[in-house]
Amino acid sequence: MKLSVRILLCLFCGASAAAQQLDWSPEPDQRPDQPEVQEPADLLQEKQSFQEPLSWRFPDPPAEEEPRFPPNFELKAPSPADSVSAVCGENSVRVEAKKDLLGIGKPVQAEDVTLGGCPATGEDAEAQVLVFESELHGCGSQLLMSEDSFIYAFTLLYTPRPLGDSPIVRTREVSVSIQCQYQRKHDVSSRLLKPTWTPFSLTKASEESLLFSFRLMTDDWQFPRPSAHFLLGDLMRFEVSVKQFHHVPLRVTVDSCVATVIPNIDTVPRYAFLGNSGCMFDSQLTGSSSQFLPRSQDDKLQFEVEAFRFQQDSSGVIYVTCSLRAAAAAATVDDTNKACSFSNGWREASGSHQVCTCCDTECGTGSQSHPTGTDAQWEQETAVGPITVKERPLR
């Protein structure tokens, strides 16, 4: 852009003409010989017009470089931590867990790791290993049965504590399933059966053998449920049964059931949804659809519980521990051997509804022993879990 400015300045262009033009005369006190100063004439400016368009432009920004990636880059798949091992003995189990339980180079706190609610029984400081030892029927173990084997299932549970007062976590809750399997025809299994049930009749105890089962079932009740994950509003279907060997036919009942967040019924929070020797309280207390199903055979009992979570627990994990009872099928259904549900009144699974009248008061302990006849009874406490109940997503 070119700009020319011409300034014309006229000074002393004639005193008289300037005086006439400016109507100026000297002041009286001005000396005659003082030179006269002429005011500058108007400034004349001339703006040059542009004859050609501007050719200068802002430079273009540099081109964005393509990102450069390392050659043959592959995202590494995480490898299993391989931090838990177990050795099953004839009547006990030994579990070893590395303190770097998650395999991330950060040791966990020993008190945050339990075997079915039982703390570590020892620690190898040099190897950085936590040691858990338990009898096969202890520490919340669950006895499972297949056609040819007995399985004792344990759960190693890691529940991390909050990081001080911060709202963040850098670890997660971990549940590791541990199983000890024994052949049913092996001598070990016959010895291991003894702690799993408590006979109230001591007569011919050496000849008696029975096995309780407590498990989750599919919706059609045809198979054991392969998953223990539920949504709020689902029905958790449980089946208890008793197998007898060299026994007269038996009837199985459920005396009580307690839900907890770990496999220990003496912890808080806890919810006793069934008790008083076979009364299903959940439907009466919460208006749920929980109930016993009508009994189809004496050695099997089915009941369903509407899924729930503990209010202050965000994990949604629960364990259900029940006290099971077996008695001779020929024995009379009474207030201590029953299966009662509440729906517009109490109803008994086998039709003997009159025995449920005590559910609103006290039905007795049902722990009396009878050495002879058809009144012999056996009990076992067993658990199912961990069961995870999640909130149903909104559409």
16-20, 168-172, 202-206 — most confident range: 168-172
229 forms beta bridges with 388
What CATH superfamily classification does 197-395 receive?
Zona pellucida, ZP-C domain (2.60.40.4100)
- Per-residue pLDDT, 171: 63
Domain 83-196 has CATH 2.60.40.3210: yes
Total Cβ atoms within 10 A of residue 340: 27
Buried b (16+ CB within 10 A) or exposed e, 2-12: eeeeeeeeeee
Write the pLDDT tens digit of every residue in 296-339.
999 899 999 998 888 778 888 989 999 998 888 888 888 888 99
Q: Round the average pLDDT of the chain to a whole number and report it.
A: 75
Predicted confidence at residue 51, as pLDDT, reads 67
pLDDT of residue 278: 92
pLDDT digits (tens, 9 = 90+) for 211-245: 888 999 988 888 888 888 988 888 999 999 988 66
- For residues 204 and 272, the answer to whether their CB atoms sit within 8 Å is no
Domain 83-196 matches domain 197-395 at the CATH topology level: yes
Whether 80 has a pLDDT exceeding 90, the answer reads no
pLDDT digits (tens, 9 = 90+) for 41-78: 555 566 666 667 767 776 776 665 565 656 665 655 55
Report domain extents, the chain. Answer: 83-196, 197-395
The pLDDT assigned to 224 comes to 86
Q: What is the pLDDT of residue 395?
A: 41
pLDDT of residue 303: 95
List of residues 6+ apart from 246 with CB closer than 8 A:
207, 208, 209
- pLDDT value of position 113: 93
